Amino acid sequence: MATYPLDDQTISLNTCGMFLKCSVRKKDGKDHRSWSIVESRRIDRTRTIHRHVLYLGELSDSQHRSWQKAIGVFDESTGVERQMVLFPEDRPSLPLGGGVDALHLRVSALRLERPRQWGACWLADLLWQRLHLDSFFAEHLECSREGTDWAMILRILTIYRLLSPGSEWRLHREWFERTALADLLDVDIRAVQDDTLYRAHDRVLKHREALFAHLRQRWVALFNVRYEVLLYDLTSTYFECDVPDDPNDPRRFGHSRDRRSDCVQVVVALVVTPEGLPLAYEMLPGNTSDKTTLRDMLKKVRSRYGAAERIWLMDRGIPTEEVLAEMRASTPPVQYLVGTPKGRLTRMESALAAKPWMSAREKVRVKLHDDGGELYVLAESVPRKDKERAMRQRKLKRYWKRLGELKTQLMDRPMSRDDLLEKIGAAKDRAGRQAAALVRVAVAAAKPRSVKKSDQAAAQNPTGKGKKKRAAPKQDPQMVGADALSYNLDKTRLRRVRVREGCYLLRTNMTGRDPDELWRYYMQLVAVEEAFRTLKGDLGLRPIFHKKPDRIEAHLFIAFLSYCLSITLRQQLRGIAGGLMPRTVFEKLATVQMLDVRIPTTDGRELLLTRHTEPSRDVALLLDALKLELPLQPPPRISQTQQMI
């Protein structure tokens, strides 16, 4: 772990400072430097401790200089830049104003009440306003005759899903009271009544198409996004509930990407840009096959954004031959780059064997095969090969070791053939299908067990002479020993697997593109995978407990809105430090609390100061990097006999 000071000046004993700390890790023969902000604290004259403040990841030169400049402070006494306390404690206090400073206060009776989380809520609401969602939903979601502001309730639900995902009942029961949303949005507890929260789900879906069009304009305005390349993929999310009786209910059993085949599910299709900015989503029944979804999604994107030459990036299993032919024949033609199943690589192995390898970029080489208007690209990545080989070797060694343990157990104590087969099956399951297929395992049939003479006599005279009736002897399962288990390595299959490790076959109709460009396009699929991880992890998309189909999709709608806020912050963080994630920023800002300071006056009234705490050094540094300023403190108020006026 290397430490890189910002300058050569010596820090005084009583100064707490921050600096950039670099960690160097070797990977693929290169040094990868990841940076963190660390605070140095002097605890006595002989010891200094370091507190990790922020992980920044890998930084470009300009980003490094920006953070270095943010941490360095110019010392007027010496005329040089030094590491010093960025935000001194002796900042001037704000005047109360309005004549409040002339009150006679009983400071000894000062009370601090209702500490609540403010910083993360403030940032989430700021992101909501940055996307102009406040004006959009104010226009589309009208207030009810009773005065219920549905746009504000949707705003609360989205912020809740972003910061602390959970059930609507938890939002109503405890979370809202522990936050400063009531202060920020000027609402009260009536906005989060449980029935009101559920009824809000019934009013949002009809505005979905308008929301997609609005977001498309905001992405262009904020990040100058171009919609030339689109990423398409599907995932599933499950329900912990009984199987619905209604045949039209979207909750169905299907291929579970969450490895919860015991639960019903729905399928979620998502279209994003290479930056991860979402354009649209669709909810499909849980038994929907991936290959049946692409045609409808192409039509919807064409109707929403017009006919244009776009590049669609997809993983294998999504497009069919018929859909790909339609994409090639459309006007203008729709360009695509898709992964192919491993079976096609087997069929094209002979054609690709005669092709020469070409270097696409460092440690990536490709073979090209033109097949009548389509180009097949066999890519081999050295880092991916090393990773897949290490995974395969680890699983194969574990499986081989377990088979050896079973054979040793059989030498010491024979077991039934059925028990042995169960143990082998469990070992195969842990090793995985690919590793288990490399070993040929055989279990011989159990030999007939010799019957003892006592058992023969009992069978001939089950009652015995003058004795009570005896039960028939219990038949023990037939046992097998170590000689019944044999296993060996399938070397032919192993050689074939080794050759294909790190290789994947791509298929495209962009025949004139450079192989390196095609490889970079395909690597952008990680953006949609990251979107699914954020939805399922940080935003708590699964499991879903709603039962009505419309509310199920409304749950996805709110999670989609939360992801829009998250990816907006992520885009801004990419320009600051690639390793900073939205979840880290929200956790840091959550330390900024709001509380009520109540000071009685000598004339029987009470001065109420609603104040958010000052940010710590690391939070203030983060706000400065994001170019954000906390709002002014709310003005003080006077209450008469505990009632605010």
Question: What is residue 156's predicted lDDT score, i.e. its pLDDT?
Answer: 96
Instruction: Please give the backbone phi and psi of residue 416, each rounded to the nearest 5 degrees, phi first.
Output: -70, 155
Contact predicate 213/129, CB 8 Å: no
As beta bridge partners, residue 109 has: none
Taking residues 442-463, what's their average pLDDT?
60
* Residues paired with residue 365 on neighbouring β-strands, in sequence order: 359, 380
For residue range 157-196, list pLDDT tens digits in order: 999 999 999 999 899 889 999 999 999 999 988 888 888 9
Question: DSSP characters for 95-141?
Answer: P--TTGGGS-B-GGG-EEEEEEE-HHHHHHHHHHHHTTHHHHHHHHS
Judged on CB neighbours under 10 Å (0-12, 13-18, 19+), 297 is buried
* Per-residue pLDDT, 72: 53
- pLDDT-based confidence at residue 8 (cuts at 50, 70, 90): very low
Rounded CA gap, 536 and 528, in Å?
Answer: 12
Q: Tens digit of pLDDT for each residue in 366-416?
A: 888 888 788 889 888 898 899 999 999 999 999 999 999 999 998 888 888
- Assess contact for 285 and 234: CB atoms under 8 A: no
To the nearest 10 degrees (0 to 180), the angle between helices 617-625 and 582-589 is 130
> Of 100-114, 227-241, 369-383, which gets the smallest average pLDDT?
100-114
Tokens 């992520």 -> residue: 570
DSSP 13-33: TT--EEEEEEEEEEETTEEEE
pLDDT at res. 463? 53
pLDDT digit string (tens) for 263-305?
999 999 999 999 999 999 999 999 999 989 999 999 988 888 7
Q: What pLDDT, on a 0 to 100 scale, did the predictor assign at position 514?
A: 85
606: number of Cβ within 10 Å: 20
More confident residue, 272 or 342: 272
Which of 524, 492, 525, 522 has its CA nearest to residue 504?
A: 522
Q: Is the pLDDT of residue 466 over 70?
A: no
Burial of 331: CB neighbours in 10 Å, binned 0-12, 13-18, 19+? exposed
**Is the CA virtual torsion 455, 457, 459, 463 positive or negative?**
negative
Region at 267 (left for phi over 0; alpha for psi -120 to 50; beta for the rest):
beta
Residue 475: pLDDT band (50, 70, 90) is: very low
Tokens 């609402």 sit at which residue?
Answer: 187
| pLDDT at residue 36 in the model | 82
Tokens 């706000």 sit at which residue? 623
Confidence of residue 606 (pLDDT cuts 50, 70, 90): confident
pLDDT per residue over 117-145, tens digit each?
999 999 999 999 999 999 999 999 989 88
**Residue listed under structure tokens 């705003």:** 155
The letter for the amino acid at 169 is W
Q: Is the pLDDT of residue 331 over 50?
A: yes
For the whole prediction, is pTM greater than 0.75? yes
Categorise residue 502: left if φ over 0, alpha if ψ from -120 to 50, beta otherwise. Answer: left
- C-alpha pair distances (Å), 186 with each of 156, 174, 192, 225: 12, 18, 13, 34
Tokens of 85: 């306390």
Measured in residues, the chain has a length of 645
Amino acid at the residue 70: A
Q: Calculate ∠ Cα 600-604-605, nearest 5°.
A: 60
- Where is mean pLDDT largest: 44-53, 180-189, 355-364? 180-189
Kind of pairing, strands 229-238 and 311-314? Answer: parallel
Q: List, in sequence order, every beta strand (DSSP E) within 137-277.
A: 229-238, 265-272
Closest by alpha carbon to 236, among 261, 273, 205, 201?
261
Residue 277: partners with Cβ closer than 8 Å, 6 or more residues away: 215, 219, 223, 225, 567, 571
Sheet with 311-314, strands from edge to edge, namely 278-285, 265-272, 229-238, 311-314, 335-339, 503-508, 375-381, 364-370, 358-361
For residues 89 and 8, give the distance between their C-alpha atoms in angstroms, rounded to a whole number: 25
> Rounded to an integer, what distance in angstroms lies between the CA atom of residue 417 and that of residue 398?
22
If one compares 105 and 123, the residue with the highest pLDDT of the two is: 123
DSSP E strand stretches across 298-423: 311-314, 335-339, 358-361, 364-370, 375-381, 415-416
Average pLDDT for 528-547: 87
**pLDDT of residue 2 exceeding 90:** no
Is the predicted pLDDT of residue 568 greater than 90, yes or no? yes
- Comparing CA positions, the residue from 216, 236, 225, 232 lying closest to residue 296 is 232
Query: What's the pLDDT at 178?
Result: 94
CA angle 233, 235, 241 (to 5 degrees): 160
Task: Evaluate the omega torsion of the peptide bond into residue 247 and state whether it is cis, within 30 degrees of 0.
Answer: no
pLDDT above 60 for 624: yes
pLDDT at 49: 66
Q: Is the pLDDT of residue 206 over 50?
A: yes
Q: Is the dihedral of CA 303, 307, 311, 314 positive or negative?
A: positive
Provide the CA 458 distance to its chain's centre, in angstroms.
Answer: 67
Residues 6+ apart with CB under 8 A from 464: 470
Describe the strand order of the beta sheet including 111-117 as a list of residue ranges: 111-117, 593-600, 606-612, 637-640, 643-644
pLDDT over threshold 60, residue 93:
no
> Residue 185: beta bridge partners?
none
Indicate the average pLDDT of the chain. Answer: 83
Any residues with CB less than 8 A from the CB of 144 and at least 6 apart, and which? Answer: 150
DSSP 8-state class, residue 173 = I
Amino acid at 412: D
Which residue in 625, 562, 627 sits closest to 124, CA to CA? 562
Residue 67 has pLDDT above 80, yes or no: no
Other C-beta atoms lying within 10 Å of the C-beta of residue 289: 14
| pLDDT, average across residues 574-595 | 92
Strand-pairing partners, residue 450, are none
pLDDT surpasses 90 at 53: no
pLDDT of residue 74: 38
